[in-house]
A and B are shown apart, each in its own frame.
Chain A
Amino acid sequence: MTFFTITHLINLLTMLFNSIEFLLFFPIVTLLFFLLPHNYRWMHLLVASCIFYMFFIPQYIFILFTTIIIDYLAAIWIEKSDEIKKKRYLIISIISTCLVLFVFKYFDFFNHNMLALSHRFDFYYPEKMIQFILPIGLSFHTFQSLSYVIEVYRGNQRAEKHFGIYSLYVMFYPQLVTGPIERPQNLLVQLRQEKPFQYSNLIEGLRLVLFGLFLKMVIADNLGVYVDQIYSKPESFSSLSILNGLLFYSFQIYCDFFGYSSIAIGCAKAMGYNLMDNFRNPYLSSSIGEFWHRWHISLSTWFRDYVYLSLGGSRVKIHRWAINILVVFILSGLWHGANWTFVIWGLTHGVLLIVEGLVNRVFKTQKDKGQNTIRKIFNTIKTFVIVSFTWVLFRATDFTQVKLIVKSLIRNISVSDDFSVDPKIWLFLLFFITLDSVLLNNRFDVWCNKRHLTFRWSLYIAMILMIIVFSNVDNFPFIYFQF
């Protein structure tokens, strides 16, 4: 029995998007893709995706293929069967796919809690634990597989008979590890289409890759140094430094995940595939509800379409609606990690959303009138502050750390510390905030299209230089890799 931690997992990762290996892998795969005839491209992408995945733990590819086979067969049987059998196959598929997720992601969490309960209520529970290394991107491709089976069940998607194409749908390397969690109606259909070489696609794809690398390497990783400092010993920092840390984490996680998504979307775009957007200026949201329409869109819409609406959505009585919201957000928290901190993080957002929903119902008329600019700015700041505080639950390893952060934030007003931020970091942050605000609902690649050539190329060169000269050289894996 081996004990592994997240650190072990992170240490095992080798082909990150921001590595020299990937800088070689991506152009080679893209070039070969266009050199090959359409009929062989799926094979090429599938092999490339397998190689990409096997850079992690090669044996784990069998786990991935197990879920692929289960859902591939289930979808075909669902399509062929009558209503009763259809449901049975759907349930079998969901349970077996989730079982893999449970074993690798939640088994240890379950065991710990059962053990704690056994001590509390005095019943026997064996103390031996088995902790596996979480297969990379398991939560993401599990959800992508499930969305396919559910869509086939609902009759929105025909079952894919070509095993290779279906495998590629689950394993498509740009989004295999951290999403965006795609839908079959979007990606599966595209995988069958012939994608001729288009210069504009290549350029837009490269722009997104560049933008993503900039977000990850210049902003997120540099902020990460300060965040780690604060979270490693919060009690020794002043309230102001901790606030600084919270602010930095908000941007670290945003730029980290947004960066990854941009690179993923860009890599796919270069080959002509359009993946769904994952972020749309989330920190410009003026409410928690709006935030969830703009943050990790592929996951929020997944929960909306397959859980929230299945439970009745908002077309039910108010208490039932509140329960639906809570269920969705607790599940969303749990999806992020097998830890109570994530559950409480999800629950907090659920409660906030319910409160917001109730307030909106009471003051419905006022909302209808629309918001004036000052009110909107106030609400945006308020939402950002709330979201930033809830990130504490997300970032902390356990509740002791959460408590320490909160305690230090309240008590350490007069404490002096040696926390100092390199002025460059503020400049980077300012640059990013400006860029993010200017993009306003536009994707970077599309926004660039509307800019003058000189401006555009100055921006590229500035970004390339900032990546080379100012990126953090320590190992900061993508935060969402652990999910």
Chain B
Amino acid sequence: MIPKSFYYKIGVIVIVLICMNYLYKYTYYEKDIQTHSEVINGVRKVVKDSCEVVYVGESSNTNCREDDIDKRSISAFIGDYYPTLRVGDITKPAAHAEIFYLLLKNIPESSAVKTVIVTLNLRSFDANWIYSSLEPQIQKYAVFLRGYPPLVGRFLLAFKGYDNRSEAELEKMYKHEWKTIELKVPFPLKNKTVKEWDRAMFHEGMKNPDGSKNYKLTELACHYIKTYAFQIDTVKNPRIKDFDNIVMLARERNWNLIFNFMAENTEKAQELIGDELIFLIKQNRDLLVKRYHRNGVLVVDNLECVPNNQYTDTTWTTEHYAERGRKIVARNVADSLKRFYPNHFF
């Protein structure tokens, strides 16, 4: 049988660990945060700078083209319209709404923040992003954002106590969705699933003027299908839950909330694939815009407002815009901000 002393010893260990939690907090915790979750610095900065408006986004905020004269971010351009307001940003490449939510949760209630602008990226609802190979890395740095006691956070990091699915496993998941989820549209669709559609495009291919197959364009077209051919399931899609959480948090904190629906290269999608894909993109946009309008969020719909020549990546689908593109998005957001700050717009 287990002697009584065993339970005492376990008790001692627990007490020691609680003490060690504090010791860790004041010694190595900060170093670990800087190594594994430096994104928290963005939160600290907006708090320290007493920012009233916070822009939360991924690489689309800061990415620029080499020939841009003004290489500043979208959030900086927004700030230009409101010189009397302090506009800060928290930017983390490849992040999605779950991370945005955790970052916002880390803003202390006592901060000066009044308005939050959150990037709403359509692609982040797609299986390819949900099950991206970057996800374990994202979940890893999210551990310290979740508000566990410091030592518990470090324990979870040490023992991979986060969604640490392997690359192969994640690949299996999104491929499964591509294969099994049927696209339901009110017109006849030749290919019912992403897999069928992608395969058909690959076999048919994009053509050069001389009729030969253009492999680069075919690859890009396939990529557009895999990225945008989906329909958001509001029950199962994890991003919906994340954005809903952001809405709840904003309500709790009494923040003005703006969702910045990022522009996608619909021009290119139309050119490569055609109406069927555009229908799906717009269907998803309408769903999100309506859903969050209903929830009292101001959604800035930028979906079609950036022209093809303003996208910096020509062989891939991203929301990386050149200077004019960023300025268009910033202008639209700034316009909608007038609702909260009519006297500050410049």
List A residues at the B interface (Cβ < 8 Å): 8, 11-14, 16, 18-20, 23, 197, 199, 202, 217, 457, 460-461, 464-465, 467-469, 471, 473, 475
Is the CB–CB distance between A473 and B36 below 8 Å?
Answer: yes
Which residues of A are found within 8 Å of B160, using beta-carbon distances?
Answer: 16, 18-20, 475
Per-position binary interface string of chain B over residues 165-179, scored 1 when its CB falls under 8 Å from any chain A CB and 0 otherwise: 111110000000000
Per-position binary interface string of chain B over residues 5-23, scored 1 when its CB falls under 8 Å from any chain A CB and 0 otherwise: 0100100110011001000
Is the CB–CB distance between A457 and B166 below 8 Å?
Answer: no
Is the CB–CB distance between A457 and B1 below 8 Å?
Answer: no
Is the CB–CB distance between B1 and A469 below 8 Å?
Answer: no
Is the CB–CB distance between B168 and A471 below 8 Å?
Answer: no
Q: How far is the CA of A14 from the CA of B169 in the complex (A)?
A: 10
Which residues of A are found within 8 Å of B36, using beta-carbon distances?
Answer: 473
Closest B residue by C-beta to A133: B168
Closest B residue by C-beta to A18: B159
Interface residue? B3 (CB, 8 A): yes
Is the CB–CB distance between B151 and A13 below 8 Å?
Answer: no
Is the CB–CB distance between A14 and B166 below 8 Å?
Answer: yes
Looking at chain A's contact residues, is the secondary structure mostly helix, strand, loop, or mixed?
helix
Interface residue? B140 (CB, 8 A): yes
Select one of A12, A457, A469, A475 contacting B12, CB under 8 A: A457
Which residues of B are found within 8 Å of A465, using beta-carbon distances?
Answer: 20
Given A457-B9, A468-B151 in contact, is the A199-B1 Cβ separation under 8 Å? yes
Select one of B13, B28, B158, B167 contacting A217, CB under 8 A: B158
Which residues of B are found within 8 Å of A23, using beta-carbon distances?
Answer: 159
Closest B residue by C-beta to A4: B168
Q: What 3 A-B pairs come out closest when comparing CB atoms?
A: A20-B161, A11-B166, A471-B158
Q: How far is the CA of A271 from the CA of B101 in the complex (A)?
A: 44
Which residues of B are found within 8 Å of A202, using beta-carbon distances?
Answer: 2
Q: How far is the CA of A461 from the CA of B17 in the complex (A)?
A: 8
Q: Give chain A nearest CB distance to B6 CB in angstroms.
A: 7
Q: Give chain A nearest CB distance to B12 CB in angstroms.
A: 7
Given A199-B2, A461-B16 in contact, is the A473-B158 Cβ separation under 8 Å? yes
Max chain A C-beta neighbours (<10 A), residue from B1, B151, B159, B161: B159
Max chain A C-beta neighbours (<10 A), residue from B1, B16, B36, B151: B16
Q: How far is the CA of A465 from the CA of B140 in the complex (A)?
A: 20
Q: Which residues between 1 and 53 of chain B lie within 8 Å of chain A, taking CB atoms?
A: 1-3, 6, 9, 12-13, 16-17, 20, 24, 28, 36
Q: How far is the CA of A464 from the CA of B20 in the complex (A)?
A: 11
Is the CB–CB distance between B168 and A473 below 8 Å?
Answer: no
Interface residue? B156 (CB, 8 A): yes
Q: How far is the CA of A158 from the CA of B17 in the complex (A)?
A: 50
Interface residue? B154 (CB, 8 A): yes
Select one of A14, A20, A460, A469 contacting B159, CB under 8 A: A20
Which residues of B are found within 8 Å of A199, using beta-carbon distances?
Answer: 1-3, 6
Interface residue? B279 (CB, 8 A): no
Please, how many residues of chain B have a CB less than 8 angstroms from a CB on the other chain?
A: 29
Max chain B C-beta neighbours (<10 A), residue from A13, A14, A20, A467: A20
Is the CB–CB distance between B169 and A467 below 8 Å?
Answer: no
Q: How far is the CA of A8 from the CA of B24 in the complex (A)?
A: 36
Which residues of B are found within 8 Å of A18, using beta-carbon distances?
Answer: 158-160
Is the CB–CB distance between B168 and A11 below 8 Å?
Answer: yes
Is the CB–CB distance between A473 and B167 below 8 Å?
Answer: no
Q: How far is the CA of A14 from the CA of B164 in the complex (A)?
A: 8
Is the CB–CB distance between A468 and B158 below 8 Å?
Answer: yes
A–B pairs, 23, beta carbons within 8 Å: A11-B169, A12-B166, A12-B168, A12-B169, A14-B169, A16-B160, A18-B158, A19-B164, A20-B156, A20-B160, A20-B161, A199-B2, A202-B2, A217-B158, A461-B13, A464-B13, A464-B17, A468-B24, A468-B154, A468-B155, A469-B151, A469-B154, A473-B36
Interface residue? B273 (CB, 8 A): no
Select one of A13, A197, A460, A461 contacting B166, CB under 8 A: A13
Q: How far is the CA of A465 from the CA of B18 in the complex (A)?
A: 11
Q: How far is the CA of A202 from the CA of B3 in the complex (A)?
A: 12
Q: How far is the CA of A202 from the CA of B160 in the complex (A)?
A: 25
Q: Which residues between 128 and 179 of chain B lie within 8 Å of chain A, taking CB atoms?
A: 140, 151, 154-161, 164-169
Is the CB–CB distance between A11 and B161 below 8 Å?
Answer: no
Given A23-B159, A217-B158, A461-B13 in contact, is the A11-B3 Cβ separation under 8 Å? no
Closest B residue by C-beta to A474: B140
Is the CB–CB distance between A19 and B159 below 8 Å?
Answer: yes
Which residues of B are found within 8 Å of A461, using beta-carbon distances?
Answer: 13, 16, 20
Closest B residue by C-beta to A11: B166
Max chain A C-beta neighbours (<10 A), residue from B12, B13, B36, B155: B155
Q: How far is the CA of A84 from the CA of B161 in the complex (A)?
A: 56
Q: How far is the CA of A471 from the CA of B6 in the complex (A)?
A: 27
Is the CB–CB distance between B24 and A469 below 8 Å?
Answer: yes
Which residues of B are found within 8 Å of A469, using beta-carbon distances?
Answer: 24, 28, 151, 154
Which residues of B are found within 8 Å of A13, using beta-carbon distances?
Answer: 166
Q: Give chain A nearest CB distance to B167 CB in angstroms.
A: 5
Which residues of B are found within 8 Å of A473, using beta-carbon distances?
Answer: 36, 140, 157-158
Q: How far is the CA of A126 from the CA of B154 in the complex (A)?
A: 52
Q: How far is the CA of A130 from the CA of B169 in the complex (A)?
A: 22
Q: Give chain A nearest CB distance to B188 CB in angstroms.
A: 35
Closest B residue by C-beta to A471: B158
Q: Give chain A nearest CB distance to B20 CB in angstroms.
A: 6
Q: How far is the CA of A373 from the CA of B46 in the complex (A)?
A: 65
Closest A residue by C-beta to B156: A20
Q: How far is the CA of A199 from the CA of B4 in the complex (A)?
A: 11
Q: How far is the CA of A465 from the CA of B20 in the complex (A)?
A: 8
Which residues of B are found within 8 Å of A16, using beta-carbon distances?
Answer: 160
Q: How far is the CA of A473 from the CA of B164 in the complex (A)?
A: 12
Q: How far is the CA of A202 from the CA of B2 in the complex (A)?
A: 9
Closest A residue by C-beta to B29: A469
Q: How far is the CA of A199 from the CA of B156 in the complex (A)?
A: 28
Q: How far is the CA of A473 from the CA of B28 in the complex (A)?
A: 14
Q: Give chain B nearest CB distance to A110 CB in angstroms.
A: 26
Closest B residue by C-beta to A9: B168
Is the CB–CB distance between A8 and B168 below 8 Å?
Answer: yes
